[in-house]
Each structure stands twice: as C-alpha cells, then as structure tokens.
Amino acid sequence: MKKIIFITAIIFLSLFGQNIMAQSVNPSMVFDEETFDYGKIDEKGGSVEHKFVFTNTGSTPIIINNVSASCGCTNPDWSKNPVAPGGKGFVSAVFNPLGRPGIFNKSITITSNAENSPVIIHILGEVIEKLPTIEEKYRYVMDEIRLNTSNVHFSDIFSNETKTMEIGIVNTSDKNVEVTFDKNRNIPPYITTVIKPQTLKPGDVGTIFITYNATLKNDWDYVYDRIFLSVNGVYNPNNKITVSAVIKEKFTEEQLKNPPAIEFLNDMVYDFGTIKQGDKIEYSFNFKNTGKTDLIIRKTKASCGCTAISPQDKVIKPGQESNIKVIFDSNGKSGTQTKTITVITNIPGKLNGQDLSVKILTLKGVVETQK
C-alpha cells in the first residue's frame, strides 16, 4: 500500500513539475486592458492615440512579429525589442476620425511568439460630425457674397433635354446685398437664371437656379459658357460662373436597332514624319458607312487651333464613302507634335465603356526649327 502511494506521489510531482516548467518557459502576453473606449471625439479634432500595456508573465522574452489593424484609419505601433520576462511592452493605436462620423469599433491583432498568440484588442467610440463653417461651405468669394461653387456642370444631358442645377449663396457682409446677373454681358438664350431672393440681408442664404436647354444650344459633346454676377449693380470680371455641359444624343428604338457604322479605310493615326517649321501637312482620313442608316457627322473639333478640319460630307448614306480632310499648320511649332481630332457622330451604343459616337483621329510627327 505504501509503495502504491509512493509511486502515485512521484507521478503527480512529475506531472506538476512539467506543468510548472511549461508555464515558466513559454512567454505569455497579458494586457492591462484589451478594450479602450474613446467616448465621443470631434471629427476635426485630429488623431487620437491610446497605448495598451502588456506584461510578459512567462520566463522567456516575448517577440512581437506583426500588428495589423482592421481599418486603414487606425495606425498601430508596438514594442520593437524583445520584452523580457516580467517586463512590460506596449501596442498603441492612433485613430484618425476625419471623414468617419458615427460609432466605430476597430480591432487590432497582435501576432507574437507568446503562447496565447494571436491577441486581439479593440478601440471603440463615437465620432461627432463637425458641421462646416460658412467659409468651408461657401468657399468662393465674390465681393460681399460667397458661393458654394462657381462651376455648374450638366453631365450627359441629352440634346432634347432641359435640366436645372442650383448654387448656394450667402451674404457675409453687414449690409443688404442685391445680387443679379450682369445686364451688359448677355446670357445665351439656352441658359436661364433665377436668384431667390435677389436681395439678401446680412447672414441670409439664397439659391441661384441655372437652367440649361440643350435643344436651344444645338451643339454636341463638351461645351461651356461664362456668365457674370453683379453685386449691388457693380460689375466685377472675377465674379463669374462657368456653365458647362456634355451634350449626348437621345436615340430611338429604331436607331438602336438599325444603327449607322463607321469604318476607316486608312489608319486613324497619321504620322507625317519630320517637317520644317512653317510647312503645312494635309491628310484625308477616309471612311465608309457600313451601317444600315444614314451616318451623320454631328461635330468635329481639333485639340489645337493650328489644325483645320473639313468633312467632305455631313450625311453619309449606307455603303457610301467619304473623308475628313485635316490641315496642320506647323508655323510657330517645334519638336514632337501630337494633335487630335474628335469626331462626333450619330452612332449609338458603347464598346468597352466608350461611346461609339465619338471617334478620335491623330496627327503626329516632328517639326524641325529653321536654322
């Protein structure tokens, strides 16, 4: 009986000793806290930081291999040197609240040689959105008033369409201000404007309504105009608003089913080689309508005033051939030249995200300066 008790005691002490040895040899990472609540923080108050402190409760050093955050808004740092047994290390989290209003809960994963690796810690809180100041909201100064934008862009407006956009306006002076559009600089008939109210008291906000009638404009692709505001009847050339548009064609079902098509019979890029400054290059881009209905050349425009464009025909019947003649004047030019000609047609649809109605022709070469 005594022998059995003795053997049992030896086995128990052996197992207990092994357990103690394992606990003492393997490093272990124990944090003072694994979650930190920032509470409410200001969105524009700048980044906030919290340092998580841990203790190595093992008997061999802890080496942190990697620290990764669940969000790019959190930038972690950590103890780069081994943390000795009984020593303390850290993992810090820097959180940037800008552009992140609302409640947040982000995790940080620490990978190390500790027996309890990986360890995950958390930061949480609520970002309070900071409303923009008058200066931030209305950035464009025009004498006694400010606008939230000085550019109105009617993107992809159809040629038979009318659209309206708004501009915010505020009186930042201490007197009443009357805002109108300058009468001495005509606003084109396809643009109409309304200002409500026209007279703004100090601190009052209003709205400028700008309406664009693409039918009256009767143009294609990218176009722009400038209109001018008068403040208290005084003209200032700096008080201008740019009104731009990209005018597209509205296709019918019949046009979609039976579209025209354009096939260029020579290359869409013409390399004229090397020429002397002052020389003129003439070239014709030949093409054919391989579609089922009339091909219409809506518009041609060059990337440079040095390039003249002359389409032979504006309407090309199915099966008919035609050309676009281009003349490049190298006067005043030198070195490598690349000039583009944009051709707007009535071809519907897209290919690889590009409008089939738009074709780009290119002239390129080198202009040598006269010695």
Boundaries of every domain in the chain: 28-128, 134-248, 253-368
Q: Fold for domain 28-128?
A: Immunoglobulin-like (2.60.40)
Distance CA 260, CA 298 (A): 13
> Which residues are CB-contacts of 107 (< 8 A; sequence separation ≥ 6)?
69, 70, 120, 121, 122
Distance CA 48, CA 28 (A): 28
pLDDT higher than threshold 90 for residue 152: yes
Q: Do domains 28-128 and 253-368 have the same CATH topology?
A: yes
Q: Which region among 94-103, 140-149, 309-318 has the lowest average model confidence (pLDDT)?
A: 94-103
Distance CA 157, CA 153 (A): 10
Mean pLDDT for the stretch of residues 280-307? 95
The DSSP 8-state label assigned to residue 58 in this structure reads S
pLDDT higher than threshold 50 for residue 143: yes
| Burial per residue of 79-118, b for 16 or more beta-carbon CB atoms within 10 angstroms, e otherwise | beebbebeeebebbbbbbbeeeeeebebbbebebbbeebe
Q: Where are the beta strands (DSSP E) in 80-150?
A: 88-95, 102-112, 119-128, 140-142, 145-147
Q: Could you tell me the pLDDT band of residue 45, with boundaries at 50, 70 and 90?
A: confident
Q: Which of 22, 90, 27, 17 is nearest to 57 (CA)?
A: 27
> Which residues are CB-contacts of 296 (< 8 A; sequence separation ≥ 6)?
260, 314, 315, 316, 345, 346
DSSP reduced 3-state for 253 = helix
Q: Which uninterrupted H or E stretch holds 8?
A: helix 2-25
pLDDT higher than threshold 60 for residue 6: no
> Which residues are CB-contacts of 329 (< 8 A; sequence separation ≥ 6)?
280, 306, 307, 308
Class of domain 134-248: mainly beta
pLDDT in tens, 64-120: 999 998 888 888 899 999 999 999 999 999 999 988 999 999 999 999 999 999 999
The pLDDT assigned to 353 comes to 85
The pLDDT assigned to 67 comes to 93
User: What share of the chain in percent tops pLDDT 90?
Assistant: 81
DSSP reduced 3-state for 129 = coil
Length of the chain: 371
How far is residue 37 from each of residues 95, 102, 127, 128, 306, measured CA to CA in Å?
Answer: 12, 14, 12, 14, 65
Q: Which CATH number is correct for 253-368, 3.40.50.2300, 2.60.40.10, 3.40.718.10, 3.20.190.10?
A: 2.60.40.10
The pLDDT assigned to 23 comes to 45
Q: Is 169 left (phi over 0), alpha (psi -120 to 50) or beta?
A: beta
pLDDT in tens, 207-218: 999 999 999 999
Supply angle C-alpha 283, 246, 230, rounded to 5: 120
pLDDT higher than threshold 50 for residue 2: no
Mean pLDDT for the stretch of residues 335-355? 93
Distance CA 47, CA 35 (A): 18
The pLDDT assigned to 258 comes to 94
To the nearest whole number, what is the mean pLDDT of the chain? 90
Mean pLDDT for the stretch of residues 279-299? 96
The pLDDT assigned to 195 comes to 96
Mean pLDDT for the stretch of residues 270-294? 96
DSSP reduced 3-state for 136 = helix
Q: Which of 251, 309, 253 is nearest to 284 (CA)?
A: 309
Query: How would you class 138 by CB atoms within 10 Å of its CB: exposed for 0-12, middle for 13-18, buried for 19 or more?
Result: buried
The pLDDT assigned to 12 comes to 47
The pLDDT assigned to 5 comes to 46
What pTM did the predictor assign? Answer: 0.66
